[in-house]
Chain A
Amino acid sequence: MKKLRPMLIIIIAFVTLLTLPGCWSAKGLSSLAIVTGIGIDKGASLDQLLLTIQIVKPSQAQVPSSEGGKSRGKAFWNATCAGETMIGAIREVTHLIGKEPFLAHSNVIIFGNDFATTGVKKTLDFFLRNPETQPTALILVASGRAGDILNVESEAEILPVQNIIKIIKGAAAISQFKVITINDFTNNLMSKTTAPIAPLVTITQNGNRQNIYVSGLAVFKKDKLVGALNDMETRGLLWTTGDVKKGLILITSPEDTGNVAFEISKSKSKVTPEIKDGRVIIHIEVRTETNLVEQTSADKIYFPVVALLEERQAEVIRQEIMAAFDKSAELSADIFGFGDIVYKNFPAQWQSLEDHWDEVYPRIDLVLDIKVTMRETGLVTQPVSPEK
Chain B
Amino acid sequence: MFNFIFRIYRYLRYIVFAPETNPSPVSPDKYTNNTSSDFKQAKLALDTLILLAARLQALILLVQELLQKGLLKCEINLIKSEIETLEHQLSRLSPLVISYEQNSTGKIDYDLISADLSKNLEFLRDSLKSSDIVIREFNLGCDKQTGCVLLYVDGLTDRNAINNTVLKPLMYDSCLLTKENLIQPNRMDSLQKNLLLASDVTRTSQFSDLLDNLMRGGTILLINGAPEALVISTTKWESRGVEKPELENVVRGPREGFSESLRINTSLLRRKISNPNLRFEEVKIGKQTKTNICIAYLANVADPKLIIEIKKRLSRIHTDAILDSGYIEAFIEDAPYSIFATVANSEKPDVVAAKLLEGRAALLVDGSPIVLTMPMLFIESFQSPEDYYVRPYYASTLRLIRFQAYLSSIFSPGVYVALISFHQVLIPTQLLITLAAGQEKVPFSAALEAFMMGIVFEILREAGVRLPRPVGSAVSIVGALVLGQTAVSAGLIGPIMVIVVAITAITSFVIPSQADSGIILRFIFLFSAGLAGGFGILMALIVILLHLTSLRSFGVPFFSPVAPFSLLGLKDVFARFPLWIMSIRPQVLEQYNSVRQNSGLRPSKPK
Chain A residues packing against B (C-beta within 8 Å): 14, 17-18, 21, 23-24, 26-30, 32, 34, 36, 56, 58-59, 61-62, 102, 104-105, 107, 132, 134, 162
Q: How far is the CA of A32 from the CA of B423 in the complex (A)?
A: 12
Distance (whole angstroms) from the CB of B546 to the closest CB of chain A: 10
B421 touches A34 (CB 8 A): no
With A18-B531, A23-B535 as contacts: A34 and B433 at CB distance below 8 Å:
yes
A29 touches B436 (CB 8 A): yes
Tell me, yes or no, whether B515 is within 8 Å of chain A by CB: no
**Residues of A contacting B433 in the complex (Cβ-Cβ under 8 angstroms):** 34, 56, 58, 61-62
Tell me, yes or no, whether B445 is within 8 Å of chain A by CB: yes
With A26-B447, A27-B422, A29-B446 as contacts: A34 and B432 at CB distance below 8 Å:
yes
**Residues of A contacting B429 in the complex (Cβ-Cβ under 8 angstroms):** 34, 36, 105, 107, 162
Tell me, yes or no, whether B425 is within 8 Å of chain A by CB: yes
Please, which residue of chain A has its CB at the minimum distance from the CB of B442? A30
Q: How far is the CA of A65 from the CA of B188 in the complex (A)?
A: 89
Q: How far is the CA of A102 from the CA of B531 in the complex (A)?
A: 21
Q: How far is the CA of A178 from the CA of B60 in the complex (A)?
A: 90
**Residues of A contacting B424 in the complex (Cβ-Cβ under 8 angstroms):** 27, 29, 32, 102, 104-105
Q: How far is the CA of A77 from the CA of B380 in the complex (A)?
A: 56
Q: How far is the CA of A364 from the CA of B316 in the complex (A)?
A: 94
Q: How far is the CA of A361 from the CA of B422 in the complex (A)?
A: 50
**Residues of B contacting A24 in the complex (Cβ-Cβ under 8 angstroms):** 532
Q: Which residue in B434, B447, B531, B535 is a CB contact (below 8 Å) of A62?
A: B434
Q: How far is the CA of A107 from the CA of B430 in the complex (A)?
A: 12
Of the A-B pairs whose beta carbons lie under 8 Å apart in the complex, a sample of 20, sorted by A's number, is A23-B422, A23-B532, A24-B532, A26-B421, A26-B445, A26-B447, A26-B530, A27-B422, A29-B421, A29-B424, A29-B436, A30-B436, A30-B440, A32-B436, A34-B432, A58-B436, A58-B440, A62-B438, A107-B429, A162-B429
Distance (whole angstroms) from the CB of A75 to the closest CB of chain B: 9
Chain B 443-461, CB-CB to A under 8 Å as 1, else 0, gives 0011100000000000000
Please, which residue of chain A has its CB at the minimum distance from the CB of B420? A29
Tell me, yes or no, whether B475 is within 8 Å of chain A by CB: no
Please, which residue of chain A has its CB at the minimum distance from the CB of B444? A28
Distance (whole angstroms) from the CB of A262 to the closest CB of chain B: 37
Tell me, yes or no, whether B257 is within 8 Å of chain A by CB: no
Tell me, yes or no, whether B437 is within 8 Å of chain A by CB: yes
Chain B 45-71, CB-CB to A under 8 Å as 1, else 0, gives 000000000000000000000000000
With A24-B532, A59-B440 as contacts: A29 and B435 at CB distance below 8 Å:
yes
**Residues of B contacting A27 in the complex (Cβ-Cβ under 8 angstroms):** 421-422, 424
**B interface majority secondary structure:** helix
**Residues of B contacting A107 in the complex (Cβ-Cβ under 8 angstroms):** 429
Distance (whole angstroms) from the CB of B285 to the closest CB of chain A: 34
B436 touches A34 (CB 8 A): yes
With A23-B533, A26-B421, A28-B445 as contacts: A105 and B440 at CB distance below 8 Å:
no
| Chain B stretch 530-581: residues in CB contact (< 8 A) with chain A | 530-536, 539
Please, which residue of chain A has its CB at the minimum distance from the CB of B428? A105
A132 touches B425 (CB 8 A): yes
With A23-B532, A30-B439, A30-B440 as contacts: A58 and B421 at CB distance below 8 Å:
no
Q: How far is the CA of A92 from the CA of B160 in the complex (A)?
A: 96
Please, which residue of chain B has its CB at the minimum distance from the CB of A133? B425
Q: How far is the CA of A268 from the CA of B437 in the complex (A)?
A: 46
Q: How far is the CA of A30 from the CA of B422 in the complex (A)?
A: 13
Please, which residue of chain B has its CB at the minimum distance from the CB of A159? B433
**Residues of A contacting B420 in the complex (Cβ-Cβ under 8 angstroms):** 29
Interface centre among B438, B446, B532 (most CB of A within 10 A): B532
**Residues of B contacting A61 in the complex (Cβ-Cβ under 8 angstroms):** 433, 437
B436 touches A26 (CB 8 A): no
Q: Which 10 A-B pairs have the closest CB atoms?
A: A58-B437, A58-B436, A26-B421, A104-B425, A62-B437, A29-B439, A105-B429, A61-B433, A59-B437, A30-B439
Q: How far is the CA of A283 from the CA of B539 in the complex (A)?
A: 56
Q: How far is the CA of A160 from the CA of B292 in the complex (A)?
A: 76
B421 touches A28 (CB 8 A): yes
Please, which residue of chain A has its CB at the minimum distance from the CB of B447? A26
Q: How far is the CA of A13 from the CA of B439 in the complex (A)?
A: 35
- List 16 extra interface pairs beyond A18-B536, A104-B425, CB under 8 A: A18-B531, A18-B539, A23-B535, A26-B421, A26-B446, A26-B447, A26-B533, A28-B446, A29-B424, A29-B446, A30-B436, A34-B436, A58-B440, A61-B437, A62-B434, A105-B432
